[in-house]
Chain A
Amino acid sequence: MTTELLTNAPYIAAGVLMLVGLAVIFYRRNLIRMLMGCSLVESAVNLFLVAMGYRHDAAAPIYTNAEAGAKMVLPTVQALTLTAIVIGLATSAMMLAFVIVIHRHYGTLDINEVRRLRE
């Protein structure tokens, strides 16, 4: 039981992180907090991806570091995660820029007041 918990800990952490992120997105009224929620969900997905590539007793996937024939951690997911991180960085920077513009024009970050498009 304990070992099962331990081996699945990264996945559980990813799940918890995702739930927290989604809760922040849906229950917080401040735009910046919402963006924090988005980042949390993104981290959760990244954590899931990296955890997936883990193999017990394996070396880091560096060609010149490992013994010949040694097991290596799956490098594909690490490449995927890096790409996802870069995309996430661009997305958060852009969304923060939007938030700054919105704050400048509306004078508020409350999502209940940032809904002039509805009218």
Chain B
Amino acid sequence: MSRIVSYIARAAWPFCLVYGLYIVLHGHLTPGGGFQGGAVMATGAALMMVSGAWGAAGREGHFRRAEGLESLGLIGFIAVAFGGLLFGAAFFQNWLANTGTSFFGLAVVPGPNGGVMRTAGTLPLMNLAVGIEVFGGISVILCALQRTFHHADGDEDGDDIPDVADGEARPGGGKPVEQVIAAIRGEEAGDDD
């Protein structure tokens, strides 16, 4: 990719994150929420990867960090759910709502209004957890897919994901992404018979 593209991607990256985070945090007030906001943030990550702004060097680190985010989000989500059991009565119970605390505990104001941020109890917390999880999860998927295209020769990945039994021929291995796409297109051409 050209340098212009990667510069612009770098400029757009913080905006993607902020916009995604906005959607996540307003999930209990407006359409959107954890999944959508997380997906927007992950779009930013996709942009950085495709434009080459992240380079090949830090790829392993990005993968690890994305995995960490994924775990963090999932644990946060299930922890809030278990919180219902600990602080309230039931699994997934909204134990924060309408408690009067300013930490998302205020009552919802009925009628048309702009929406009060600090309402809805555990919903924003869950949205945040899901947002982090989806951001991490989609980034993991993107990293993994990118990795399969980029270094598909020899033993890939330094991680412990099971790979092929060693030393066997790999017809499609080791090709850069353009060639793989060309291979797919080529088969498409013969698809009609």
Q: Which residues of chain A have a CB within 8 Å of any CB of chain B?
A: 28-30, 32-33, 60, 62-68, 82, 85-86, 93, 96-97, 100-101, 103-110
CA distance A85 to B38 in the complex (A): 14
Known: A63-B110, A82-B35. A104 touches B191 (CB 8 A): no
Min distance, Cβ A32 to any Cβ of chain B, angstroms: 6
For window 4-32 of B, CB contacts with A under 8 Å fall at 29-31
Query: Do A65 and B112 touch across chains, with their CB atoms under 8 A apart?
Result: yes
- Can you list 28 A-B pairs, Cβ within 8 angstroms, ordered by A? A28-B191, A32-B184, A60-B31, A62-B29, A63-B108, A64-B29, A64-B110, A64-B111, A64-B114, A65-B112, A67-B112, A68-B110, A68-B111, A93-B141, A96-B145, A97-B141, A97-B144, A97-B145, A103-B180, A104-B170, A105-B171, A106-B172, A108-B171, A108-B187, A109-B183, A109-B184, A109-B187, A110-B187
Residue B56 CB within 8 A of the other chain: no
Q: Which residues of B contact A65 (CB under 8 A)?
A: 112
Inter-chain contact total with CB atoms closer than 8 Å: 68
Min distance, Cβ B125 to any Cβ of chain A, angstroms: 18
Residue of A at shortest CB range from B168? A105
Q: Is the interface of B mostly helix, strand, loop or mixed?
A: loop
How many residues in B have their beta carbons less than 8 Å from beta carbons of A? 28
Q: Which residues of chain B have a CB within 8 Å of any CB of chain A?
A: 29-31, 35, 108-115, 141, 144-145, 148, 152, 164, 170-173, 180, 183-184, 187-188, 191
Ranked 3 nearest A-B pairs via Cβ = A107-B171, A107-B172, A104-B172
Residue of B at shortest CB range from A100? B148
Q: B108, B172, B180, B188: which has the most chain A beta carbons within 10 Å?
A: B172
CA distance A65 to B187 in the complex (A): 52
